[in-house]
Structure 1
Amino acid sequence: MSAVEQAEGASRSLGQLFASATAEMSALVHDEIALAKAELREDVKRVGLGSGAIVGAVTLAFFALPMFSMAAAYGIHALGLGLAWSFLIVGGAYVLIALVLGVFARAKFKKVKKPERSIASAKQTAAVLQSVKPHPRPLESSTTDDLKV
Protein backbone atom coordinates (compact mmCIF):
# COMPACT_ATOMS: atom_id res chain seq x y z
CA MET A 1 0.00 0.00 0.00
CA SER A 2 1.45 3.36 -0.96
CA ALA A 3 1.58 6.40 1.27
CA VAL A 4 -1.14 8.09 -0.79
CA GLU A 5 -3.51 5.12 -0.34
CA GLN A 6 -2.78 5.08 3.42
CA ALA A 7 -3.53 8.78 3.66
CA GLU A 8 -6.81 8.35 1.74
CA GLY A 9 -7.80 5.42 4.00
CA ALA A 10 -7.03 7.40 7.13
CA SER A 11 -8.98 10.44 5.96
CA ARG A 12 -12.23 8.52 5.31
CA SER A 13 -15.03 9.40 7.68
CA LEU A 14 -16.96 6.90 9.78
CA GLY A 15 -19.95 7.28 7.46
CA GLN A 16 -17.82 6.51 4.43
CA LEU A 17 -16.34 3.46 6.14
CA PHE A 18 -19.82 2.25 7.14
CA ALA A 19 -21.14 2.80 3.61
CA SER A 20 -18.19 0.90 2.19
CA ALA A 21 -18.70 -1.99 4.62
CA THR A 22 -22.42 -2.08 3.86
CA ALA A 23 -21.76 -2.15 0.11
CA GLU A 24 -19.24 -4.96 0.50
CA MET A 25 -21.65 -7.00 2.68
CA SER A 26 -24.40 -6.46 0.12
CA ALA A 27 -22.11 -7.62 -2.67
CA LEU A 28 -21.12 -10.67 -0.63
CA VAL A 29 -24.75 -11.63 -0.04
CA HIS A 30 -25.58 -11.13 -3.74
CA ASP A 31 -22.60 -13.30 -4.74
CA GLU A 32 -23.69 -16.07 -2.35
CA ILE A 33 -27.21 -15.98 -3.77
CA ALA A 34 -25.80 -16.17 -7.31
CA LEU A 35 -23.68 -19.17 -6.30
CA ALA A 36 -26.70 -20.94 -4.80
CA LYS A 37 -28.71 -20.27 -7.98
CA ALA A 38 -25.94 -21.70 -10.15
CA GLU A 39 -25.71 -24.87 -8.07
CA LEU A 40 -29.48 -25.30 -8.10
CA ARG A 41 -29.56 -24.87 -11.89
CA GLU A 42 -27.18 -27.84 -12.23
CA ASP A 43 -29.39 -29.98 -10.01
CA VAL A 44 -32.52 -28.92 -11.89
CA LYS A 45 -30.89 -30.04 -15.15
CA ARG A 46 -30.13 -33.46 -13.62
CA VAL A 47 -33.67 -33.79 -12.29
CA GLY A 48 -34.99 -32.79 -15.71
CA LEU A 49 -32.96 -35.49 -17.45
CA GLY A 50 -34.03 -38.12 -14.93
CA SER A 51 -37.67 -37.05 -15.18
CA GLY A 52 -37.46 -37.11 -18.96
CA ALA A 53 -36.21 -40.69 -18.82
CA ILE A 54 -39.10 -41.67 -16.56
CA VAL A 55 -41.62 -39.93 -18.82
CA GLY A 56 -40.08 -41.73 -21.80
CA ALA A 57 -40.37 -45.10 -20.07
CA VAL A 58 -43.97 -44.50 -19.07
CA THR A 59 -44.90 -43.21 -22.51
CA LEU A 60 -43.29 -46.21 -24.15
CA ALA A 61 -45.06 -48.62 -21.84
CA PHE A 62 -48.46 -46.92 -22.11
CA PHE A 63 -48.84 -46.04 -25.80
CA ALA A 64 -46.41 -48.12 -27.83
CA LEU A 65 -46.58 -51.38 -25.94
CA PRO A 66 -49.99 -52.61 -27.09
CA MET A 67 -49.46 -51.69 -30.74
CA PHE A 68 -45.96 -53.02 -31.18
CA SER A 69 -46.58 -56.00 -28.95
CA MET A 70 -49.33 -57.32 -31.18
CA ALA A 71 -47.35 -56.71 -34.35
CA ALA A 72 -44.17 -58.27 -32.98
CA ALA A 73 -45.92 -61.26 -31.44
CA TYR A 74 -47.77 -62.08 -34.65
CA GLY A 75 -44.55 -61.55 -36.59
CA ILE A 76 -42.68 -64.04 -34.38
CA HIS A 77 -45.63 -66.43 -34.65
CA ALA A 78 -45.37 -66.19 -38.44
CA LEU A 79 -41.75 -67.43 -38.15
CA GLY A 80 -43.04 -70.68 -36.71
CA LEU A 81 -43.04 -70.19 -32.91
CA GLY A 82 -46.20 -70.74 -30.89
CA LEU A 83 -48.43 -67.74 -30.29
CA ALA A 84 -47.96 -67.83 -26.50
CA TRP A 85 -44.14 -67.92 -26.80
CA SER A 86 -44.30 -65.05 -29.28
CA PHE A 87 -46.22 -62.83 -26.85
CA LEU A 88 -43.88 -63.81 -23.98
CA ILE A 89 -40.78 -62.82 -25.95
CA VAL A 90 -42.26 -59.43 -26.87
CA GLY A 91 -43.37 -58.72 -23.29
CA GLY A 92 -39.93 -59.63 -21.93
CA ALA A 93 -38.24 -57.27 -24.40
CA TYR A 94 -40.39 -54.36 -23.24
CA VAL A 95 -39.69 -55.12 -19.59
CA LEU A 96 -35.94 -55.05 -20.32
CA ILE A 97 -36.24 -51.67 -22.07
CA ALA A 98 -38.20 -50.25 -19.12
CA LEU A 99 -35.55 -51.57 -16.69
CA VAL A 100 -32.74 -49.91 -18.66
CA LEU A 101 -34.59 -46.58 -18.64
CA GLY A 102 -35.28 -46.96 -14.90
CA VAL A 103 -31.60 -47.57 -14.15
CA PHE A 104 -30.67 -44.50 -16.22
CA ALA A 105 -33.19 -42.35 -14.33
CA ARG A 106 -31.96 -43.62 -10.96
CA ALA A 107 -28.36 -42.79 -11.89
CA LYS A 108 -29.37 -39.22 -12.78
CA PHE A 109 -31.35 -38.77 -9.55
CA LYS A 110 -28.41 -40.02 -7.44
CA LYS A 111 -26.24 -37.20 -8.80
CA VAL A 112 -28.55 -34.57 -7.29
CA LYS A 113 -26.91 -33.16 -4.16
CA LYS A 114 -27.01 -30.26 -1.75
CA PRO A 115 -25.48 -26.93 -2.83
CA GLU A 116 -22.33 -27.60 -0.77
CA ARG A 117 -20.33 -24.57 -1.91
CA SER A 118 -23.17 -22.20 -1.01
CA ILE A 119 -23.63 -23.81 2.39
CA ALA A 120 -19.90 -23.62 3.15
CA SER A 121 -19.75 -19.99 2.03
CA ALA A 122 -22.80 -19.05 4.12
CA LYS A 123 -21.33 -20.80 7.19
CA GLN A 124 -18.04 -18.95 6.70
CA THR A 125 -19.85 -15.62 6.42
CA ALA A 126 -21.92 -16.39 9.52
CA ALA A 127 -18.76 -17.28 11.46
CA VAL A 128 -17.13 -13.99 10.49
CA LEU A 129 -20.22 -11.99 11.41
CA GLN A 130 -20.54 -13.72 14.79
CA SER A 131 -17.05 -12.66 15.78
CA VAL A 132 -17.78 -8.99 15.06
CA LYS A 133 -18.79 -7.04 18.17
CA PRO A 134 -20.13 -3.50 18.15
CA HIS A 135 -18.13 -0.82 19.91
CA PRO A 136 -20.17 1.03 22.54
CA ARG A 137 -20.39 4.77 22.04
CA PRO A 138 -20.90 7.18 24.91
CA LEU A 139 -24.25 8.94 24.94
CA GLU A 140 -24.18 12.68 24.45
CA SER A 141 -26.06 14.87 26.89
CA SER A 142 -28.43 16.25 24.21
CA THR A 143 -29.57 12.76 23.16
CA THR A 144 -30.09 11.72 26.82
CA ASP A 145 -32.37 14.72 27.42
CA ASP A 146 -34.38 13.85 24.30
CA LEU A 147 -34.88 10.29 25.55
CA LYS A 148 -36.27 11.31 28.98
CA VAL A 149 -39.57 12.59 27.58
Structure 2
Amino acid sequence: MGSSPLDNRPLDIDGERTIGQLVADASREMSTLVRSEIALAKAEVTGGLKIGGKGAGLLGGAAFMGLLGVIFLLHTLAQVLDIWLPASAAYAIVTVLLFLVAAVLGLLGKKALSQAKPKPEKAIAEAGKTIAAVKSAA
Protein backbone atom coordinates (compact mmCIF):
# COMPACT_ATOMS: atom_id res chain seq x y z
CA MET A 1 0.00 0.00 0.00
CA GLY A 2 1.12 3.57 -0.58
CA SER A 3 1.47 6.15 2.11
CA SER A 4 -1.57 8.15 3.08
CA PRO A 5 -1.88 11.68 4.43
CA LEU A 6 -2.53 10.07 7.81
CA ASP A 7 1.06 8.76 7.87
CA ASN A 8 2.43 12.33 7.88
CA ARG A 9 0.54 13.42 11.00
CA PRO A 10 2.49 14.28 14.12
CA LEU A 11 2.64 11.52 16.70
CA ASP A 12 2.38 11.91 20.45
CA ILE A 13 5.32 11.54 22.85
CA ASP A 14 5.33 7.71 22.71
CA GLY A 15 5.36 7.61 18.91
CA GLU A 16 1.69 6.62 18.78
CA ARG A 17 -1.11 8.49 17.07
CA THR A 18 -3.07 10.80 19.32
CA ILE A 19 -6.58 10.09 20.58
CA GLY A 20 -7.85 12.98 18.48
CA GLN A 21 -6.34 11.40 15.37
CA LEU A 22 -7.82 8.03 16.22
CA VAL A 23 -11.27 9.55 16.79
CA ALA A 24 -11.05 11.50 13.53
CA ASP A 25 -10.01 8.35 11.64
CA ALA A 26 -12.81 6.32 13.22
CA SER A 27 -15.32 9.02 12.34
CA ARG A 28 -14.10 9.16 8.74
CA GLU A 29 -14.20 5.36 8.40
CA MET A 30 -17.67 5.21 9.91
CA SER A 31 -18.84 7.84 7.43
CA THR A 32 -17.38 5.84 4.55
CA LEU A 33 -19.03 2.68 5.86
CA VAL A 34 -22.43 4.37 6.14
CA ARG A 35 -22.11 5.74 2.60
CA SER A 36 -21.29 2.29 1.25
CA GLU A 37 -24.27 0.76 3.11
CA ILE A 38 -26.56 3.41 1.60
CA ALA A 39 -25.14 2.70 -1.88
CA LEU A 40 -25.83 -1.02 -1.40
CA ALA A 41 -29.40 -0.31 -0.29
CA LYS A 42 -29.97 1.94 -3.32
CA ALA A 43 -28.64 -0.74 -5.67
CA GLU A 44 -30.94 -3.38 -4.19
CA VAL A 45 -34.02 -1.17 -4.31
CA THR A 46 -33.28 -0.11 -7.88
CA GLY A 47 -32.88 -3.72 -8.98
CA GLY A 48 -36.16 -4.75 -7.36
CA LEU A 49 -38.02 -1.82 -8.89
CA LYS A 50 -36.64 -2.58 -12.35
CA ILE A 51 -37.95 -6.14 -12.13
CA GLY A 52 -41.33 -4.92 -10.88
CA GLY A 53 -41.52 -2.27 -13.62
CA LYS A 54 -40.67 -4.78 -16.30
CA GLY A 55 -43.33 -7.16 -14.98
CA ALA A 56 -45.93 -4.40 -14.88
CA GLY A 57 -45.08 -3.29 -18.42
CA LEU A 58 -45.31 -6.82 -19.75
CA LEU A 59 -48.63 -7.33 -17.97
CA GLY A 60 -49.97 -4.11 -19.46
CA GLY A 61 -48.87 -5.01 -22.99
CA ALA A 62 -50.30 -8.50 -22.69
CA ALA A 63 -53.56 -7.12 -21.35
CA PHE A 64 -53.89 -4.66 -24.24
CA MET A 65 -53.19 -7.25 -26.94
CA GLY A 66 -55.45 -9.74 -25.24
CA LEU A 67 -58.19 -7.13 -25.05
CA LEU A 68 -58.09 -6.56 -28.80
CA GLY A 69 -58.44 -10.28 -29.48
CA VAL A 70 -61.04 -10.79 -26.80
CA ILE A 71 -63.25 -8.03 -28.19
CA PHE A 72 -63.63 -9.89 -31.46
CA LEU A 73 -63.95 -13.28 -29.79
CA LEU A 74 -66.66 -12.08 -27.41
CA HIS A 75 -68.59 -10.33 -30.14
CA THR A 76 -68.49 -13.57 -32.14
CA LEU A 77 -69.63 -15.53 -29.07
CA ALA A 78 -72.52 -13.13 -28.51
CA GLN A 79 -73.56 -13.50 -32.15
CA VAL A 80 -73.48 -17.31 -31.81
CA LEU A 81 -75.56 -17.18 -28.60
CA ASP A 82 -77.95 -14.85 -30.41
CA ILE A 83 -78.94 -17.86 -32.51
CA TRP A 84 -80.61 -19.50 -29.48
CA LEU A 85 -81.25 -16.54 -27.13
CA PRO A 86 -82.35 -12.93 -27.47
CA ALA A 87 -79.45 -10.57 -28.26
CA SER A 88 -79.65 -8.87 -24.85
CA ALA A 89 -79.31 -12.21 -23.02
CA ALA A 90 -76.42 -13.26 -25.25
CA TYR A 91 -74.52 -10.03 -24.56
CA ALA A 92 -75.29 -10.27 -20.82
CA ILE A 93 -73.74 -13.73 -20.68
CA VAL A 94 -70.66 -12.49 -22.53
CA THR A 95 -70.38 -9.47 -20.20
CA VAL A 96 -70.41 -11.68 -17.09
CA LEU A 97 -67.74 -13.86 -18.68
CA LEU A 98 -65.65 -10.74 -19.33
CA PHE A 99 -65.81 -9.65 -15.71
CA LEU A 100 -64.79 -13.12 -14.50
CA VAL A 101 -61.75 -13.17 -16.79
CA ALA A 102 -60.82 -9.63 -15.70
CA ALA A 103 -60.91 -10.68 -12.04
CA VAL A 104 -58.65 -13.69 -12.67
CA LEU A 105 -56.16 -11.61 -14.67
CA GLY A 106 -56.15 -8.92 -12.00
CA LEU A 107 -55.32 -11.45 -9.29
CA LEU A 108 -52.51 -12.95 -11.40
CA GLY A 109 -51.06 -9.49 -12.06
CA LYS A 110 -51.17 -8.60 -8.38
CA LYS A 111 -49.36 -11.83 -7.53
CA ALA A 112 -46.64 -11.11 -10.13
CA LEU A 113 -46.07 -7.59 -8.78
CA SER A 114 -45.92 -8.82 -5.19
CA GLN A 115 -42.99 -11.09 -6.10
CA ALA A 116 -40.77 -8.07 -6.86
CA LYS A 117 -38.48 -7.44 -3.88
CA PRO A 118 -37.53 -3.77 -3.64
CA LYS A 119 -36.62 -4.19 0.04
CA PRO A 120 -32.83 -3.90 0.54
CA GLU A 121 -32.43 -7.15 2.48
CA LYS A 122 -28.65 -7.44 1.97
CA ALA A 123 -28.05 -3.85 3.06
CA ILE A 124 -30.18 -4.34 6.17
CA ALA A 125 -28.27 -7.50 7.05
CA GLU A 126 -24.90 -5.78 6.48
CA ALA A 127 -25.98 -2.79 8.58
CA GLY A 128 -26.98 -5.15 11.37
CA LYS A 129 -23.58 -6.84 11.24
CA THR A 130 -21.86 -3.45 11.29
CA ILE A 131 -23.85 -2.30 14.31
CA ALA A 132 -23.10 -5.55 16.11
CA ALA A 133 -19.38 -5.21 15.34
CA VAL A 134 -19.28 -1.60 16.53
CA LYS A 135 -21.14 -2.49 19.75
CA SER A 136 -18.84 -5.41 20.46
CA ALA A 137 -15.75 -3.26 19.84
CA ALA A 138 -16.98 -0.50 22.16
Q: What TM-score results when the alignment is normalised by the length of structure 2?
A: 0.58
Alpha-carbon contact 1:53-1:101 (below 8 Å) kept: no
* Structure 2 residue 117 is the aligned partner of structure 1 residue 112: yes
Matches within 5 A, 1:78-97: 80-82=83-85, 83=87, 84-97=89-102
- Seen in structure 2, the aligned counterparts of structure 1 residues 88 and 53 have a Cα distance that, compared at 3 Å, is farther
CA RMSD of aligned residues (A): 4.1
Deviation of 1:41 (Å): 2.9
> Could you say which residue in structure 2 is the equivalent of 1:72?
75
Letter in 2 for 1:80: I
Q: 2:130 aligns with which of 116, 121, 125?
A: 125
C-alpha offsets along residues 22-50 of structure 1, whole Å, 9 cap, x if unaligned?
21110100111122222233444456567
C-alpha offsets along residues 69-89 of structure 1, whole Å, 9 cap, x if unaligned?
xx9389616962422134313
* Structure 2 residue 128 is the aligned partner of structure 1 residue 99: no
- Seen in structure 2, the aligned counterparts of structure 1 residues 73 and 81 have a Cα distance that, compared at 3 Å, is farther
- Seen in structure 2, the aligned counterparts of structure 1 residues 88 and 127 have a Cα distance that, compared at 3 Å, is same
How many percent identity over aligned positions? 31
In structure 1, what is the Cα distance between the partners aligned to 2:44 and 2:115? 15
Q: What TM-score results when the alignment is normalised by the length of structure 1?
A: 0.54
Bigger relative CO (Cα 8 Å, ≥ 6 apart): 2
Matches within 5 A, 1:1-149: 8=7, 13-14=17-18, 15-45=20-50, 72=75, 76=79, 80-82=83-85, 83=87, 84-112=89-117, 114-133=119-138
| Structure 1: 5+ residue stretches without partners | 134-149
Q: How many residues are paired up?
A: 118
